């Protein structure tokens, strides 16, 4: 359960700011200790949304500020970034980027000439999303578990109303996360699934879903949880995992495992956001699987189901039934593995539950 967000900093001398930060750090350590102690005292805490977002996600701060052009101060743009309180973003999160002009007509665009961003190895267009008086553009950038923790420049170029190209640049620190480690025992028939051959087969089957990019965002606002029954987080996102103590089986957990407290199969799995079914099938490690496309490179996955209730191509709304919780594939008991990928890279699904920028 524990997860620490580290950030390297070097400071010389003691000023009021660093003294206050020191006090804050002590408070955080105290609260963390209390939290860990509480986890130890309660064997199977019922996970609820409020405790998860505060315990597992960094503080989310909507960082929207005007960007003044070099000349003609009447025009400004709003750049939205979901950075944490330290101004960075942790490994495993998704960087949400929005760009909006303050007045209609201040930002020129056309099909084939959208605002464009680069961040690390990611290079993609910001695309128009509906529901705003002035044109609003959005993009979702994966900050993968394996992306090196260091500063990266975020650069956004776009054409203004005069036809001039403008460049917004901001350096964003990717913060290291010490993901926990777990060894899982697989007995009998499941032991044969401990190697990566089953995963490689599954990845081949899901390759089309991973690469899906629809130029329209299909959802609005916050996502909801895919389970509506009491559940516990049995394996967190990003946990390093081995099977039967074999170090060559090491990999990181690409989603979250949600175990119904009933410990029974058959609970309803619902869509957390509007989307479209892009894959339905029976996989080796993942078992009965549903994959959804939500647009702008965001896809989601539901593994180990006992029953599937949707068909490929079907359009779903938030809350629509996808299937039933089960333990098909490599599962030691009934649970839902929920996974979200951005541009094909797994990110923490809970990142979509807290206040999106637009």
Q: Which residues bind Zn ion (CB under 5 A)?
A: 257, 337
Tell the smallest beta-carbon distance from residue 134 to Zn ion (Å).
41
CA atoms of 300 and 294, how far apart (whole Å): 8
Nearer to Zn ion, 121 or 250 (CB): 250
Tell the smallest beta-carbon distance from residue 166 to Zn ion (Å).
43
Nearer to Zn ion, 287 or 295 (CB): 287
Tell the smallest beta-carbon distance from residue 286 to Zn ion (Å).
9
CA atoms of 224 and 272, how far apart (whole Å): 5
Tell the smallest beta-carbon distance from residue 316 to Zn ion (Å).
22
Minimal CB distance residue for Zn ion = 337
Nearer to Zn ion, 84 or 257 (CB): 257
Nearer to Zn ion, 84 or 267 (CB): 267
Tell the smallest beta-carbon distance from residue 305 to Zn ion (Å).
13
Provide φ and ψ at 325, rounded to 5°: -60, 140
The strand order across the sheet containing 321-324 reads 268-270, 321-324, 307-308
Nearer to Zn ion, 297 or 346 (CB): 346
Q: Is 5 helix (H, G, I), strand (E, B) or coil?
A: strand
CA atoms of 13 and 100, how far apart (whole Å): 40
Nearer to Zn ion, 106 or 239 (CB): 239
Strands 89-90 vs 165-178: parallel, antiparallel or unpaired: parallel
Provide φ and ψ at 206, rounded to 5°: -95, 0
Provide φ and ψ at 298, rounded to 5°: -100, 120
CA atoms of 199 and 279, how far apart (whole Å): 16
- Identify whether the C-beta of residue 353 lies closer than 8 Å to the C-beta of residue 223: yes
DSSP assignment letter at 112: T
Tell the smallest beta-carbon distance from residue 202 to Zn ion (Å).
12
Nearer to Zn ion, 56 or 98 (CB): 56
DSSP assignment letter at 215: S
Q: How many CB atoms lie within 10 A of CB 133?
A: 8
Tell the smallest beta-carbon distance from residue 301 to Zn ion (Å).
10
Tell the smallest beta-carbon distance from residue 266 to Zn ion (Å).
19
Nearer to Zn ion, 294 or 337 (CB): 337
Q: Is 320 helix (H, G, I), strand (E, B) or coil?
A: coil
Cβ neighbours of residue 197 closer than 8 Å, sequence gap 6 or more: none
Q: What sign does the dihedral 6-34-347-123 (CA atoms) show?
A: negative
HSE value, Cβ hemisphere, 13 Å, CA-based, for 70: 5
């Amino acid at each position: 359960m524990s997860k620490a967000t580290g950030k390297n900093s070097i400071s010389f001398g003691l000023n009021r700011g660093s003294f206050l930060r020191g006090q804050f750090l002590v408070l955080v350590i105290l609260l963390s200790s209390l939290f860990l102690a509480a986890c130890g005292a309660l064997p199977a805490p019922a996970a609820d949304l409020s405790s998860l977002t505060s315990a597992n996600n960094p503080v989310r701060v909507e960082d929207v500020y005007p960007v003044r052009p070099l000349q003609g101060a009447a025009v400004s743009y709003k750049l939205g970034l979901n950075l944490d309180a330290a101004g960075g973003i942790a490994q495993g999160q998704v960087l949400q980027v929005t760009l909006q002009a303050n007045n209609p007509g201040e930002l020129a665009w056309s099909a084939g000439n959208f605002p464009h961003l680069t961040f690390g190895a990611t290079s993609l267009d910001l695309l128009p999303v509906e529901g705003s008086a002035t044109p609003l553009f959005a993009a979702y950038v994966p900050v993968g578990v394996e992306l090196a923790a260091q500063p990266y420049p975020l650069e956004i170029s776009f054409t203004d109303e005069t036809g001039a190209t403008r460049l917004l640049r901001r350096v964003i620190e990717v913060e290291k996360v010490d993901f926990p480690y777990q060894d899982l025992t697989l007995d009998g028939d499941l032991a044969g699934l401990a190697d990566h051959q089953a995963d490689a087969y599954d990845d081949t089957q899901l390759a089309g879903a991973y690469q899906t990019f629809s130029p329209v965002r299909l959802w609005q606002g916050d996502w909801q949880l895919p389970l509506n029954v009491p559940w516990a987080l049995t394996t967190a996102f990003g946990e390093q995992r081995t099977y039967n103590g074999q170090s060559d089986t090491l990999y990181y957990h690409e989603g979250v495992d949600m175990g119904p407290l009933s410990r029974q199969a058959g609970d309803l799995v619902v869509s957390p956001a509007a989307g479209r079914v892009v894959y339905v099938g029976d996989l080796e490690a993942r078992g009965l699987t549903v994959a959804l496309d939500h647009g702008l490179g965001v896809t989601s996955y539901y593994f180990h189901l006992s029953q599937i209730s949707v068909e490929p191509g079907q359009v779903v709304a938030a809350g629509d039934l996808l299937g039933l919780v089960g333990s098909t594939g490599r599962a030691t008991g009934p649970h839902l593995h929920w996974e979200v990928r951005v541009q094909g890279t797994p990110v923490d699904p809970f990142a979509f539950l807290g206040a999106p920028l637009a």
